[in-house]
């Protein structure tokens, strides 16, 4: 059972006005708002990612204070919070990594606005690919190669509007890897 679930369970059945005083809230309604925010949370990740702050505590401070008051395992909560930050840092590492799809497209008077709106059809975003997290570049490249093969097979007739696929460019941690349609690496920049 996660520490957040334990906190939510105790919060639901405790004397909230007394708890608000123990936490040094000047207003019971401010405390109640913070308690309700915690009780509505589904996961610790979403809770910590919300950026909640009530001028008394940050969310992390409030959770740690509640673990002290409720006599829960503070070390377990710290570990859960650290796991969140480690995962969040890894997600940030992938934020600007993507695969760009090159095609044989030749412009024939299409408006620049239309081209820009359809540009996302040429990009495969990697920021939410959890299977790539916590891996080195050498471990990621074979996975990307497989992804490219699957993508090419599913788009063998070309990308809508953009035409036939010529090659792929993987933008990964500042490097650019060029792949052919079979998923083989052509060049590294």
Render pLDDT for 63-94 as a digit per residue (tens, 0 to 9). Answer: 999 999 999 999 999 999 999 999 999 999 99
Amino acid 82: pLDDT: 95
Do residues 177 and 100 both lie within one domain? yes
Q: Does 76 share its domain with 114?
A: no
* Amino acid 180: pLDDT: 94
180 lies in the same domain as 115: yes
**How many domains, in total, are found in the chain?**
2
Edge-to-edge strands, sheet with 175-179: 123-125, 98-103, 165-172, 175-179, 185-188
Q: Where are the alpha helices (DSSP H) in 41-187?
A: 44-49, 59-69, 74-93, 112-118, 137-154
Instruction: Answer for the pair 126, 102: CB distance below 8 angstroms, yes or no.
Output: no
CA nearest to 66, candidates 125, 14, 122, 141:
14
d(CA 148, CA 124): 10
Residue 24's CB is within 10 A of a number of other CB atoms, namely: 10
| Domain shared by 110 and 150, yes or no | yes
Per-residue pLDDT at 188: 87
Q: Do 114 and 147 lie in a common domain?
A: yes
pLDDT at 53: 85
**180 shares its domain with 109:** yes
Domain of 111, in residue numbers: 96-188
Q: What is the pLDDT of residue 146?
A: 96
Return the pLDDT at 104: 92
Ranges of the chain whose pLDDT falls below 70:
none
């Amino acid at each position: 059972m996660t520490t957040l679930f334990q906190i939510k369970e105790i919060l639901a059945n405790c004397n909230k006005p007394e708890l608000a005083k123990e936490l040094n809230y000047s207003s019971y309604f401010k405390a109640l708002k913070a308690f309700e925010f915690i009780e509505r949370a589904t996961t610790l990740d979403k809770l910590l990612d919300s950026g909640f702050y009530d001028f008394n505590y940050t969310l992390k401070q409030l959770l740690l204070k509640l673990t002290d008051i409720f006599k829960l395992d503070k070390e377990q909560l710290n570990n859960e919070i650290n796991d969140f930050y480690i995962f969040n840092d890894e997600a940030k590492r992938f934020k600007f990594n993507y695969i760009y799809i090159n095609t044989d497209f030749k412009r024939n008077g299409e408006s620049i606005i239309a081209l820009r709106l359809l540009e996302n059809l040429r990009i495969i975003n990697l920021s939410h690919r959890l299977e790539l997290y916590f891996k080195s570049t050498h471990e990621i490249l074979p996975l990307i190669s497989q992804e490219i093969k699957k993508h090419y097979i599913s788009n063998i007739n070309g990308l809508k509007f953009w035409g036939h696929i010529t090659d792929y460019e993987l933008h990964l941690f500042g490097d650019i890897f060029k792949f052919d349609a079979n998923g083989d690496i052509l060049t590294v920049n």
